[in-house]
């Protein structure tokens, strides 16, 4: 029996992870569930999976739940509750599926407590990749990606010698605006942006897909997960999202992982690695005429990708600042405070004004994160003032 804690259980990844686990009740048991404030869904999950601990980070949500729920699961709250859920002694693997930089602390706490990590929170590696991967090595735990692209890379790399890897090829759907000109992007609405062609995901990552910032974050994540230089990580646009990524080897052979776009497959692989189990995910039907297209990304129009390479190569606190500025800009866009193209401008402006700290401590990272959020927020406010003048 494998004991799993899920941080971010009411989100898109969290609910799909519970679907996977429900398919293998003889193999997995849920020890802890944590959510931000969706007390109703968390209550349903508690009733179905009966964890020892459940957390609502938001106090008021926790109060609401406690007033209704009187079962055996302990209801905790706040960051302290989250850290407890991340480090329960009964847990083998923690699936970290929180949105954004809030995943960093609980992930590190879980690694320090000797837990294997199924990582759905790429921001942890973007902001604190060096610290986290170093700690993972020290503690001898496994850090397994849940992102479909990184799961694909891990599957392609499995059984191969690291020294024979030439290049990682991360595929990108290109998002809903593939082929758009800068002019066309000026009038994008939030609604258009949230209509992703292939994947049903949370709002934040859907916007990140449209700007290609998500692909940039994935490049940085891949660098830390697999220890590959940025020069040897490329992005290939593949609109159908069937090939989830590829690895090119020194002999010229390329290994690719394919499947229907369904996050339950990479979630399950992170739990069963290096084994495989039957999964609820649908399989490819090759009796149907299928066409898979590949093309280079339009880096000039979608500048977020190049910016990510730039901050990645700069190292230090730069990737953290890139990520924090993006979170602020995306939130502003989702609240209709900012047009689509301004997201990348705000990231670039913030990155350009940041004093990079090389080999940062965790506290230097949090300081940079806070600085970037304030700076980006100020840029959003300035944009709004100028617009309303």
The residues that touch a copy of itself, with contacts defined as CB under 8 A, are 155-156, 158-161, 164, 166, 169, 234, 236, 243, 246, 248-260, 262, 265, 268-269, 272, 274-279, 281-284, 286-287, 289-296
Instruction: Give the C-alpha separation, 220 to 203, whole Å.
Output: 21
For residue 302, give every residue at least 6 positions away whose Cβ sits within 8 Å of its Cβ, in sequence order, or none: 175, 211, 212, 344
What is the closest distance, in whole angstroms, from the C-beta atom of residue 287 to a copy of itself in the complex? 5
Shortest Å distance, C-beta 26 to a copy of itself: 16
Residue positions counted in the chain? 389
| Angle in degrees, 0-180, between the axes of helices 362-388 and 342-352, rounded to the nearest 10 | 130
φ, ψ dihedrals at 180, nearest 5°: -70, 150
Q: Which is nearer to a copy of itself, 272 or 356 (CB)?
A: 272
| Cβ closest to a copy of itself, residue 69 vs residue 249 | 249
Q: CB of residue 256 vs a copy of itself: minimum separation in angstroms? A: 5
CB 94 within 8 A of CB 290: no
Burial class (CB in 10 A: 0-12, 13-18, 19+), 25: exposed
Dist CA 355 CA 17 (whole Å): 39
Nearest CB to a copy of itself, comparing residues 24 and 139:
24
Report how far residue 300's alpha carbon sits from residue 11's, in angstroms, rounded to the nearest whole number. Answer: 33
Contact between residue 171 and residue 261 where contact means Cβ atoms under 8 Å apart? no
The CA R_g of the chain, rounded to the nearest whole Å, is 20
In whole angstroms, the minimum distance from the beta carbon of 5 to a copy of itself comes to 22
Distance CA 214, CA 173 (A): 11
Residue 282 CB, nearest approach to a copy of itself (Å): 7
What gap in Å lies between CA 335 and CA 354, rounded to an integer? 25
Q: Which two tokens stand for residue 39?
A: 């007390």
Task: Name the residue nearer to a copy of itself (CB basis): 198 or 272.
Answer: 272
Within 8 A by CB and 6+ apart from 91, the residues are 3, 4, 5, 31, 32, 110, 115
Beta carbon nearer to a copy of itself, 90 or 283: 283
Distance CA 5, CA 126 (A): 22
Query: With respect to a copy of itself, which residue has the nearer C-beta, 89 or 288?
Result: 288
**Which is closer to a copy of itself, CB of 242 or CB of 332?**
242
Which tokens hold the place of 170?
């991360």
Q: Least distance to a copy of itself from the beta carbon of 275, Å?
A: 6
For 129, other C-beta atoms within 10 Å of its C-beta total 20
Gap between the Cα atoms of 17 and 97, Å rounded = 10
Query: Between 258 and 362, whose beta carbon lies closer to a copy of itself?
Result: 258
Q: Closest distance between a copy of itself and the C-beta of residue 210, in Å? A: 22
Cβ of residue 17: shortest distance to a copy of itself, in angstroms? Answer: 14
Closer to a copy of itself by Cβ: residue 111 or 267: 267
Q: Minimum Å distance from CB 288 to a copy of itself?
A: 8
């Amino acid at each position: 029996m494998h004991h799993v804690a899920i941080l971010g259980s009411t989100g898109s990844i969290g609910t799909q992870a519970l679907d996977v686990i429900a398919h293998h009740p003889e193999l997995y048991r849920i020890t802890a569930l944590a959510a931000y404030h969706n007390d109703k869904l968390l209550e349903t999950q508690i009733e179905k999976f009966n964890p020892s601990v459940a957390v609502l980070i938001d106090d008021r949500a926790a109060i609401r739940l406690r007033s209704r729920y009187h079962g055996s699961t302990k209801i905790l709250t706040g960051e302290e509750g989250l850290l407890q859920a991340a480090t329960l002694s009964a847990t083998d693997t923690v699936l970290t599926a929180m949105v954004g930089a809030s995943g960093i602390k609980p992930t590190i706490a879980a690694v320090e407590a000797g837990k294997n990590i199924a990582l759905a929170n790429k921001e942890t590696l973007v902001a604190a990749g060096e610290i986290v991967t170093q700690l993972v090595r020290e503690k001898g735990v496994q850090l397994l990606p849940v992102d479909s692209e990184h799961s694909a890379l891990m599957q392609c790399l499995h059984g191969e010698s690291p020294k024979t890897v030439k290049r990682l090829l991360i595929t990108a759907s290109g998002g809903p605006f593939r082929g758009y000109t800068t002019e066309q992007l000026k009038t994008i609405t939030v609604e258009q942006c949230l209509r992703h062609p292939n994947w049903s995901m949370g709002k934040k990552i859907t916007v990140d897909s449209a700007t290609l910032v998500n692909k940039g974050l994935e490049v940085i994540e891949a660098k830390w997960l697999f220890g590959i230089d940025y020069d040897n990580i490329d992005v290939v646009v593949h609109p159908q999202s069937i090939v989830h990524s590829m690895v090119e080897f020194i002999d010229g052979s390329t290994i690719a992982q394919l499947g229907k776009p369904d996050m339950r497959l990479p979630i399950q692989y992170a739990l069963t690695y290096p084994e495989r189990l039957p999964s609820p995910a649908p399989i490819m039907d090759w009796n149907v005429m299928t066409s898979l297209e590949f093309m280079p990304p339009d880096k000039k129009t979608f500048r977020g990708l190049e910016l990510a390479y730039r901050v990645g190569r700069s190292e230090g606190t730069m990737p953290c600042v890139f990520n924090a500025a993006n979170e602020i800009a995306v939130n502003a866009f989702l609240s209709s405070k900012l047009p689509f193209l301004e997201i990348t401008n705000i990231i670039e402006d913030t990155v350009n004004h940041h004093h990079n700290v090389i080999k940062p401590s965790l506290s230097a990272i949090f300081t940079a994160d806070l600085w970037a959020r304030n700076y980006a927020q100020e840029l959003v406010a300035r944009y709004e003032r100028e617009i309303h003048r």
